[in-house]
Amino acid sequence: MDLMDSFGIAVPKTKVCSTPAEAETAAEEMGGDAIVKAQVLAGGRGKGTFLNGFQGGVRACNSSLEARGIAAKMLGQNLVTKQTGPEGKPCNKVTVNERLYLRRETYFAILMDRASNGPVMVASPYGGMNIEDVAAENPDAIFSEPIDIFKGVQDAQVKRLANAMGFTSPKSHEQAKAIMTRLYELFIKRDATQVEINPLAETHDGRVLCIDAKLNFDDNAVFRQKDLFAMRDESQMDTREVIADKNGLNYIGLDGSIGCVVNGAGLAMATMDIIKLSGGNPANFLDLGGAASADQVIEAFRLLQSDPNVKVILVNIFGGIMRCDVIALGLIKAVSELGVKKPLVVRLMGTNHEAGKKVIEDSGLRMLMADDLGDAAAKAVRICEILQLAEKADISVALNIGLN
């Protein structure tokens, strides 16, 4: 809300609160008629349920005392929505927003579109609901305007969208056009990848405001958007991803059992696909990049070693700029320093891969080698199956495996 306000975009009065007392004071300043919203980075908050049984992450209140009570039931609790999984997301803050009485709600977004090679504005007269449902049930109600990034937004484009969304009175029409233009300015200047306003609404007295928003920003722009990225709430993020980010690793946590250490994003995706094809489930996407340091390799293994879901680690390296024998030395150092106990399947291919394999064989460390990615994935999956069977039977298995 503050960011949009800095671009001259109309938003409701909003205060961020960390305690029930702060929520009470904020609501009192707004006359007691307010909306309390759980600050959880997930969609579907309004229909969500807190683990303490409290229903709804977006609640209206008629008094400051009621705002305090609602905040007390939200703060410190996990909110479960359709986007969070059963464990939910922690609610450490709430916002208290002025309550506005809306005449109509619309939808507006700007996102990067591969088909049009640039930004596209998307709008619909049906706001306040899932745009996916609108697109499925009434696709003719979705309007779009591709933007030439060199020319910027043209007046004719926002005029067409304002008309399509139903802002037909001269006052609301001009306000809607101005908001869309300023949102595009925010989108470009702040390196956004998505600006979604739902709803973009008209109040009973003719004002047009962005009532709620979802904004995403390009991770590659951290160096010039440091103030934005400093605002990240790490409590809303996967702890593994926070650790990986601090160590310069490209990592996304998943819920499988086969940890992946790969150099190259495309190869990492292919590795995950082959694991799935072999009947297993990857525990992560992890791209070391083309010039990973020994410290980064160690941190990658530390991350997977600490993940209780990871049963097997599959290392898939294609040596190009980074030679396989150098990677092999890094693997040995990481495994030795960390005392990695989880089974390792290693596939090395490319520059000096034979030398790399010999380095590993001579190390005396227990690593299962594979020349083919399909073979490596099959071995990793088979080891997982053995471990799972052993766990069910409550048998301790020493893995000194030669798989045929």
Any idea which residues carry the catalytic annotation?
A: 107, 196
For Cα atoms 246, 216, 15, give the angle at the middle one, nearest 5 degrees: 95
Task: Give dist(CA 349, CA 217) in Å, integer.
Answer: 36
Cross-strand partners of 143: 123
Dig out the tokens for 203 from the structure.
């109040």
Distance CA 194, CA 109 (A): 7
Q: How far apart are CA 186 and CA 62, in angstroms?
A: 34
- Please check whether residue 36 is in contact with residue 95, taking contact to mean a CB–CB distance below 8 angstroms: yes
Distance CA 370, CA 376 (A): 5
CB atoms inside a 10 Å sphere around CB 189 = 10
Tokens of 302: 């530390």
Contacts of residue 104, defined as CB under 8 A and 6 or more positions apart, other chains included, come to: 125, 166, 201, 202
279 by DSSP, 3-state: which?
coil
**Dmax (CA) of the chain:** 79
List, as one string, the DSSP characters of 262-274: ESSHHHHHHHHHH
| Residue 283 near residue 303, CB atoms below 8 Å | no
Q: What is the DSSP letter of 19?
A: S
